[in-house]
Chain A
Amino acid sequence: MSNSHLFLKSGFPRAPLQNGLGRYVCQLQRITLKFCKNNGSSKGMRDFIENHLVDFAKENPGIVVYVKPRRHRTPVLVGEYLNGDREWLSCRNSTQEEITKWVDLLRTQNGSSSSLRLRKMWHTDVPSIQGPWTPFLLRSPEAHGQEYPSVEASKPLDAPQTATEKLIELFRQQKQLGDEDVLSQKRAE
């Protein structure tokens, strides 16, 4: 198994220069298409240049497009970005559609992306607005002064009244009423 990803640089998502906060600026500065005029491996590149390159340049006025013919060499795409990155892509024997996709990728990314493993899918400057959670959040103030161990706090919260407790309560009620009243009630019955 390839262990190359173990030594890959890792990082967190960042956008250069607060991009997208006010307006969006395309980060691709210039793109260079190198190809051969008669070699078969450049056929797709030649098709792309004939059919789509002018449209691409018109749609993206911010990108400088260079076309560089050279004899008997493989076709190559090179993108240069505002952050100084340079992405080199070999397009040997690739078709026109593939080249369209690769050019689109070069256009839409912010720099060469292949060498960074992302550790998070989220970046924020303000991690918490209501404050971080603590165990005392939304608890009654009485709970703060609680001393442990305590019998009260050790009880289960939803324990029903036991039969013994019921009997004791009944007995207390009777005591409150007084023995005489109970006796009189019984007599009346």
Chain B
Amino acid sequence: MSFLAQTVRQVLRQAPTRSSALTGAMRSLSLAPALWQQNKPATADAAIDVAAIAKDQQKECQSICERVNQQVAKMEQGRLFAVVHLCGKQFKITAGDIILVEGYWPPTIGDEISLDKVLLAGARDFTLIGRPILESGLVTVKATVVEKTLTHTKTHFRKKRRKQYMRINFQRSPNTMIRINSIELARPVDASSEAEKEPSRRLF
């Protein structure tokens, strides 16, 4: 399971009963009674518990994914937003947004591009979180390059006192303006697709 799909409402409703599904960080932050917040010491039957919990989580994940898919099928999800990684920066975007890329970037005006590094995608009721990015083809983000221009003239001035040293430089760096056209869920969310896949190895 590469993403955690949870409806906000569901979390709100079920928060007191599902301590196991919440991560440690969440647990330490929540204001629930201290009894089930404590990390209980491992007992002999911990192994059995873990398996049961994993099964429970799997089931829950399946049901959540089904609900997300139902919502998307009925076109009730509303406006989608996404966090994309572009040229070393992360932007939170939705359809119709304008973002600017600083520095040299080859695409020219009128180019229609798709932003593939989607870190997170969400709607009103659900969020898909990538680890670190969502699998390719799940969310399509389309954009158009609208403008390529230079920034205003920036002054770079340095001076050392009593050393007869003074330099003044002027610089303008390129800027690219991008319009986000659409963010869409390309295919139904699947809980088991990535669970079976082995974690990708890093080769150096």
Chain A residues within CB distance 8 Å of chain B? 1-2, 4-5, 8, 13-15, 19-21, 24, 26-27, 105, 107-110, 113-118, 121-126, 129-130, 137-143, 146, 152-153, 155, 157-160
Residues of A near B31 (CB, < 8 A) are 139-140, 142-143, 146, 153
The reply to whether A2 and B122 contact each other, CB–CB distance below 8 Å, is no
Instruction: For the complex of A and B, list the 10 residue pairs with the smallest distance between their C-beta atoms, beginning with the closest.
Output: A20-B179, A143-B31, A109-B149, A108-B148, A20-B144, A121-B100, A123-B98, A113-B149, A20-B146, A140-B15
Residues of B134-180 at the interface with A, using a CB-CB cut-off of 8 Å, are 144-155, 157, 159, 168, 172, 175, 177, 179
In the complex, how many residue pairs between chain A and chain B have their CB atoms under 8 Å apart? 152
**CB proximity of A116 to chain B, nearest CB, Å:** 6
**CB proximity of B142 to chain A, nearest CB, Å:** 11
Q: Which of B96, B122, B145, B150 contacts A124 (CB 8 A)?
A: B96
Instruction: Report the separation of the CA atoms of residues A142 and B37 in the bound assembly, to the nearest whole angstrom.
Output: 14
The reply to whether A8 and B152 contact each other, CB–CB distance below 8 Å, is yes
Q: Which of A107, A125, A143, A155 contacts B96 (CB 8 A)?
A: A125
Q: Which of A122, A140, A158 contacts B38 (CB 8 A)?
A: A158
Given A24-B110, A138-B11, residue A157 in contact with residue B28 (CB < 8 A):
yes
Known: A126-B79, A138-B15. 6 other contacts (CB 8 A): A20-B144, A21-B181, A24-B145, A129-B79, A139-B15, A140-B15
Instruction: Identify whether the interface residues of A are mostly helix, strand, loop, or mixed.
Output: loop
Chain B residues within CB distance 8 Å of chain A? 8, 11-12, 15-16, 26-28, 30-34, 37-39, 78-81, 89, 91-94, 96-100, 102, 108-110, 122-124, 127, 144-155, 157, 159, 168, 172, 175, 177, 179, 181
Interchain residue pairs with CB less than 8 A apart (25): A5-B152, A19-B146, A20-B144, A20-B181, A105-B148, A108-B109, A108-B147, A108-B148, A109-B150, A110-B147, A113-B149, A122-B100, A123-B97, A129-B78, A129-B81, A129-B124, A130-B8, A137-B8, A138-B11, A138-B26, A139-B30, A142-B32, A153-B31, A157-B34, A160-B38
